[in-house]
Structure 1
Amino acid sequence: MSERELHVLRFLATELTGPQIARELCVSLNTLRTHSRHIFGKLNVHSRSVAVSHAAQLGLI
């Protein structure tokens, strides 16, 4: 996983909404969604909550 994807993943573990995360990262919402899709694919999951849980189990966050 890239450094940027790990950074996004850490934000996904927070209470922030997608638009709030995009603003914090200074990217468009579509860019955030693309990063999220890549993260979900690499973790073989289909939702934010499962991605965060799986990433925590793997020690990524």
Structure 2
Amino acid sequence: MSVWTLGQLPAPEAFTGRVRLDDVGFLDTAGAWYLLRLRAAGVVLEGLSPAHAQLVAA
């Protein structure tokens, strides 16, 4: 899935299980906020680069 804006994403509660993020090349503040919401909803985030992982560190 290629997404460019938060408005194109489903609600975090719509996801279950795991989300693979290996192909994420750019992560802004809004994207990091969305990933934090996914994690709070119980989704496991996999494949984040070390730099991106720092943005969503709790």
TM-score range, shorter chain: 0.3 to 0.5
Larger strand percent: 2
Provide TM-score, normalisation by structure 1.
0.37
Provide TM-score, normalisation by structure 2.
0.39
Larger helix percent: 1
